[in-house]
Amino acid sequence: MAKKVVTGNYAAAYGAMRARVKTVAAYPITPQTFIVEHISEFINNGELDCAYMEVESEHSAMSACVSASAAGVRTFTATSSQGLALMHEILPIASGLRLPVVMAVVNRAIAAPINIWVEHNDIMPERDSGWIQVFCDNNQEVHDMVLQAFRIAEDKRVALPMSVNLDAFILSHTVEPVDLSEIEEADRFVPKYVPPSPTLDTANPKAVGVFVPPEYMMEARWNMDKAMREVPKVAEEVNSAFAKQFGRNWGGMIDPYMVDDAEVVLVTLGTASSTAHEVVDELRAAGKKVGLVKLRFWRPYPTEQIRKIVSKVKAVGVFDRAVSYGVGGPSYIELRNAAYGLNVPVMDFIGGLGGKDVSSADVRFIYERLLETAKTGKVRKDITWINTRGVEQ
C-alpha cells in the first residue's frame, strides 16, 4: 500500500481504477471533472484497461453506463449538481434493471442562484430513485468506499446501483494523506466481475426494460424494496471484510462515537462529522455527556440502529446540509421517522448551504441547544438555521 497526498477526486478515480472498471462514461462538471480526467490519465498511462466514452451530456453518461452494465461489464461514472439532475431520468432505469453501476457524486448546490460549493440538495432528491447512497468525510474514506461500493452493489442479494458522495471542494479539491491500495490487494477484495443479473448476449437476443402491466410492476417494485432492505447486512459484511484486510473500519451503516452514556446525540453527514468529532472530545473533557452519530448510509436509512441510540438519550439533533422547502432538512425528516413513538425531542439544524463554513463554534452551539433541551424538556426551536443573515437562531 502506497501513501500519497491526494485530493478526494483522485482518491475516487484511483479506487475505480483499482476495481478494474471496464467502462467509464465521462462528461465534465465542476467540481467533479478531475475524477474522469484522472481516469483518462490512468488509461493513457497503461494502468487501466478500460473503454472510455466521452459523451455529450450527463444524461448520455448514465445511459451509456446502463448499456455497458447490461452488457456485463463493471461500470463507473461521476457527476455533480446540475449534471446529476440531468441524469435523473436514467437513474431509476439503472436501479429498475438491477444494474450495479457505481457513481461518485461530488455534492454541490443546485441552481438557482448559481453556486459551485457544497450542498446535499443535489443527491438527496434522488433518495427514491433506487440507488444506494453513502457519504464520506475524508479522502481515505472516499477511496475505500469506491472499492466497497462495487462489492455491495454487485452482491446478488442487492444488485442495485450505488453512489459514493463527497463534499465539493472540502474533499474533492483538498489534499490529504491517503493509503492507496496496490493492485494485488485490491484484486483480493474486489473479485473478478460476475454480473448479478442476466446480461445482454448477441447469441441470445432479448428485450430489456419492456412495457409491463400493473401486476408485474408491483412485483418489480417489491423486489427492489426487498433488495434495498438487504443492503445493511451486506454493507456490514463488506465493511468487516475490508477492516480485516486493510485494517480500516468505517463502521458500516453508521459510525457512532461516545453514545453509550450520552445524554444528547447529534447526527451528521459528510465532512461536518469531522468537525463534530472534535467538538465532542472538547465537550467531553468539560464533563458534558454528548455523543455523535456519523450517518454513513442515507439510502437505505439505518432506522433500527438510529432508533436504538435515540431511545437512550434525552434529546437528539441532526445537522442538515440540505433543505426540503417548507418542511425542514431531509435528514431531519428521516430522523423523526426513525424516532417515531419514542417521545424524544428531535431538533433540526440547517447549515453549510452553498459551501458556508461549518465551524466548531457552530457545532458547540448545536450541542448547547441540545443540552438545554435535555435539561428543561423544552425545545426552543424545532428547526434552526445556523448563521443565516437576518434569521434568529
**331-382 per-position pLDDT tens digit:** 999 999 999 999 999 999 999 999 999 999 999 999 999 999 999 999 999 9
Which class does domain 2-246 fall in? alpha beta
pLDDT of residue 199: 86
pLDDT band at 198 (very low <50, low <70, confident <90, very high): confident
* pLDDT cut 70: percent of the chain above it: 100
Fold match, 2-246 / 254-385: yes
**162-177 per-position pLDDT tens digit:** 999 999 999 999 999 9
Fold of 254-385: Rossmann fold (3.40.50)
Give 130's contacts (C-beta < 8 A, 6+ positions apart).
Answer: 91, 92, 94, 95, 96, 160, 161, 224, 228
Residue 181 pLDDT exceeds 80: yes
Residue-range domain boundaries for the chain = 2-246, 254-385
pLDDT of residue 210: 86
> Is-contact 101 65, C-beta < 8 A?
yes
Give 374's contacts (C-beta < 8 A, 6+ positions apart).
Answer: 263, 264, 313, 314, 315
Task: Tell the residue number behind the cell numbers 465539493, with chain if given.
Answer: 168
C-alpha grid cell, residue 326: 417548507
**2-59 per-position pLDDT tens digit:** 899 999 999 999 999 999 999 999 999 999 999 999 999 999 999 999 999 999 999 9
Q: Can you tell me whether residue 354 is helix, strand or coil?
A: helix
pLDDT band at 209 (very low <50, low <70, confident <90, very high): confident
